[in-house]
Amino acid sequence: MTYQVQLEIFAGPLDLLLHLIEQSKLDIYDIPIAIITEQFLSYLHTIELLNLEVAGDFIVMAATLMQIKARMLLPKPVTLDDREDVEDEEDPRKELVDRLMEYKRIKEASHLLRELEQEQMMFFARSGGVFTDQQLAPVSDPLKGLSIWDILDAFQTILISLTPSEENLSLPVEEISVKQVMEQILRSVTLTNGGMDFTEVFRDKRSRNSIITAFIALLELIRLHRVIAVQEAVFDRILLCLGPAEEVPM
């Protein structure tokens, strides 16, 4: 599969780290590095599997995390006299925490801009009376109430549930493109009233490849706002509905 995914919905490794910290309600100034590294690596595994363009950035972050973890394991240098020099020893996590705090501010700033953008889409300027040229209305957030990491999480669960015996079944190789699957998903979402369950997308998928193809197709649909993912409450099932962008060419 040589499909190169360029999805801008993946905000980057700092976004994933913040998500992990917030999800586990951890203190950003006292991150349990071992736990976070482990969680981060499990996501990295999925991201690599999807052959995402952004994978490199995540690998760099994984290396940074492992380096910090190693430095934290090293014994503190023994000082001969009992002065409080040890206090000067910088926390190996400090640089990362600084970056995370800075990134958090960027996210806040981007939320403020998003609000302005949405407000602004309620105003229409003159367009010479041609309605087809009219400035366009706001599109709702395609990921309602959940982040891209929640979707990736749900996908991991599906990957794990795929038993090896199923994968070893010798079936004729299905040659199916992301575009074809996108059309399939759109068709089934259109047919279901009130939203299709996220797991439905993968129901008849047997091989690892077809599951990954289906997931990429779904992400692409979300990116194009043709499908909206909704989660009513945390840990609730994820529902897929038709998005506002109807006629955008794929």
Partner 1 sequence: MNLALARAAIEALIFSSQEPITVNTISDAVSLSDHTVRQLLLDLIEEYRVAKRGIQIVEMAGGYVFLTHPECAGYIEKLQRTPRSVPLSQAALETLAIVAYRQPITRAEIESLRGVKGESALATLVEKGLIQEVGRRDSPGRPILYGTTRGFLKYFGLKNLNDLPSLEDWHVMAKPIKEVTKADEKDLQAGT
| CB 124, min distance to partner 1, A | 4
Backbone angles phi, psi at 197, to 5 degrees: -65, 140
User: In 10 A of CB 142, how many CB atoms?
Assistant: 20
Please give the residues from 213 up to 242 whose contact with partner 1 meets the rule CB under 8 A.
Answer: 223-225
Asked if residue 71 binds partner 1 (CB under 8 A), the reply is no
Look up residue 225 and give its DSSP letter. T
Q: For tokens 């430095």, what's the residue?
A: 71
Contact range with partner 1 by CB under 8 A, out of 107-115, 152-160, 170-178, 183-191 = 107-115
The residue among 102 and 236 lying less far from partner 1, judged by its C-beta, is: 102
Please give the residues from 34 up to 53 whose contact with partner 1 meets the rule CB under 8 A.
Answer: 53
Closest CA to 148 of 52, 4, 29: 52
Please give the residues from 126 up to 185 whose contact with partner 1 meets the rule CB under 8 A.
Answer: 126, 131-139
Asked if residue 114 binds partner 1 (CB under 8 A), the reply is yes
| CB 79, min distance to partner 1, A | 34
Encode 104-137: b = buried (16+ Cβ within 10 Å), e = exposed: beeeeeeeeeeeeeeeeeeeeeeeeeeeeeeeee
| CB 136, min distance to partner 1, A | 4
What gap in Å lies between CA 216 and CA 151, rounded to an integer?
A: 11
By CB under 8 A, name the one of 112, 190, 232, 250 that touches partner 1: 112
| CB 223, min distance to partner 1, A | 8
Judged by phi (left if over 0) then psi (alpha if -120 to 50, else beta), residue 124 lies in beta
Contact range with partner 1 by CB under 8 A, out of 26-34, 104-112, 191-199, 200-208 = 104-112
Asked if residue 57 binds partner 1 (CB under 8 A), the reply is yes
| 3-state class (DSSP) for residue 129 | coil
Encode 204-228: b = buried (16+ Cβ within 10 Å), e = exposed: ebeeeebbbbbbbbbbbbbbebbbb
| CB 65, min distance to partner 1, A | 12
DSSP string, 24-41: TT--GGG--HHHHHHHHH
| CB 83, min distance to partner 1, A | 34
Asked if residue 108 binds partner 1 (CB under 8 A), the reply is yes
The residue among 8 and 88 lying less far from partner 1, judged by its C-beta, is: 8
Contact range with partner 1 by CB under 8 A, out of 29-37, 54-62, 81-89, 228-236 = 54-62
Whole-number Cα distances in Å, 48 to 68, 92, 140? 22, 27, 29
Task: Answer for the pair 49, 68: CB distance below 8 angstroms, yes or no.
Answer: no
Binding site for partner 1 (CB under 8 A): 6, 8-14, 53-54, 56-57, 60-61, 99, 102-103, 105-110, 112-114, 116-126, 131-139, 223-225, 244-248
